[in-house]
Structures are given as structure tokens and as C-alpha cells.
Amino acid sequence: MSTVVAGVGRASRAEQVGATRQQILTTAERLFAERGLYAVSNRRISAAAGQGNNTAVGYHFGTKVDLVRAIMRRHTSRIESLRQDAVAAAAGSREVRDWVACLVRPVTAYLASSGGQTWFARFSAQVMTDPALRAVVAEEALAEASLRHVVDNLVELVPDLPPDVREDRAAMVRRLIVHACAERERALAEGAATPRSTWDETASGLIDAITGLWSAPCTEERR
């Protein structure tokens, strides 16, 4: 009997810890999205998450980089699943637009499916402003096989693009996706008008723009 009780106690404790971690992640994501990564202290996150211990964030997640990584991972598994479906649908295509869609639609579809208010796009935009954290997010993203496959296809479809130009445009693409989604998310949260009425329409506009950006000719530098 005591073994059963001990087992129940351990399970209850694990559930409590899991719930605490999720509450901290939700609170941190919201505060970071609304106020910025360096305007919000761990103490403030702990208090807003209803934790009496001001060191709760550090105890559960360690450094701010670890916390940011945990927030990203909370979302990327679902986005990865959506991207896998998109990649399967685009298999064999030689159209830049089809592979650009594999970059964009998993993100917008995820935001659309979340229901209610979201903070992930604005949080991602805040992360993009910090070079060190931006590198962490890029590392996390490229760990996903489906994203590497999309990037490989896009590179293959513009073989004449010099590597430095290709890298420059890839950075532009990342910023365009993140900030366009963040602006729409912010407008929805504030009840403001948006240029596109749905996330699906937003995706179509982004795909049009990025396809043009990725396929544009490269002007040779005059020396």
C-alpha cells in the first residue's frame, strides 16, 4: 500500500512541476513578446506566473538562452509536423514558389490553428533583434530535417546566385516571415485592421513576395 501511495505522490509531484514549467513558459513568452527580452527579468516572470519563489525561472530553465530555447521548442514540434506535410506535397516540384510555401504556410497555419490570442510571432520578432539569440533559434530550426530539405531545394533552384547573395537573401526571407507575422499578430491583439483578412491570405502574400525576392536577378558589382 505504501508503495502505491509513494507512486501516486511522485506522479502528482511530476504533474505539478510540469504545470509550473508550462505556466512559466506561457508567461515568459507573453512578457517577452509585449515588452522585449531584456526589459523583463526572471523575477518579474516568476511573479507574473504566480510563483512565490523569485528564482523559479532559473530553477526550472537555467539561463535566459535556455528559457528562450524552451519557448521555441514548445512551438516548433507542431510547425515541423505541418512542414513535413508540406514537403511531402511539394516533392519533385521544380517551382520556387512551391518550396517557398513550405517555409511560410506551416508557420501561418500554426498561428491560425492556435485559437484566440497568440504571442509566438511577436516573441520570435523580439528574438530576431538579438544576434546571439537569433543564432540559437537558427540552430534549433535547422536541426529539423524538413527545413533543411526545403532550404536545399531552394538553393538548387537558383544555382547562379552567388553564395554571399544567397545568404543575404535568406536573411531577408527570415526577417520578412517573422516580422510580417508579428505585425499581423499584434494588429489582431489590438483589434486593429489588417491588410489581409486571414492567415491563409497573409501566407499567399508572403509567398508571392519571397518567390520574387529569391528568384530576382543579381546585379554584378561594378569595380
The crossing angle, in degrees rounded to 10, of helices 96-113 and 64-90 is 130
pLDDT in the model for residue 223 = 38
pLDDT in the model for residue 165 = 95
C-beta neighbour count of 62 within 10 angstroms: 12
Spatial separation of the C-alpha atoms in residues 138 and 116, rounded to whole Å: 27
Cell 514537403 belongs to 87
Q: What values do phi and psi take at 189, rounded to 5?
A: -65, -35
pLDDT at 3 over 70: no
pLDDT in the model for residue 222 = 41
Q: What 8-state DSSP symbol labels residue 158?
A: -
Domains of the chain, by residue range, sit at: 1-62, 64-215
- pLDDT single digits (tens) 195-218: 899 999 999 999 999 999 999 999
The crossing angle, in degrees rounded to 10, of helices 145-156 and 96-113 is 150
- pLDDT single digits (tens) 94-134: 999 999 999 999 999 999 998 788 999 999 999 998 888 88
- pLDDT single digits (tens) 141-174: 777 889 999 999 999 999 999 999 999 999 999 9
Taking the complete model, does pTM exceed 0.75, yes or no?
yes
- Cell numbers standing for residue 211: 518567390
Nearest one of 170, 197, 194 to 183, comparing CA atoms: 194
- pLDDT single digits (tens) 50-90: 887 778 898 899 988 899 999 999 998 899 999 999 999 99
β strands within 96-222, DSSP E = none
| Residue that wins the pLDDT comparison between 3 and 75 | 75
pLDDT in the model for residue 202 = 97
Stated as kind and residue range, the H or E segment containing 181 is: helix 163-190
pLDDT at 191 over 80: yes
Q: Is CATH 1.10.10 the right assignment for the domain spanning 1-62?
A: yes
- pLDDT single digits (tens) 23-47: 999 999 999 999 999 899 989 999 9
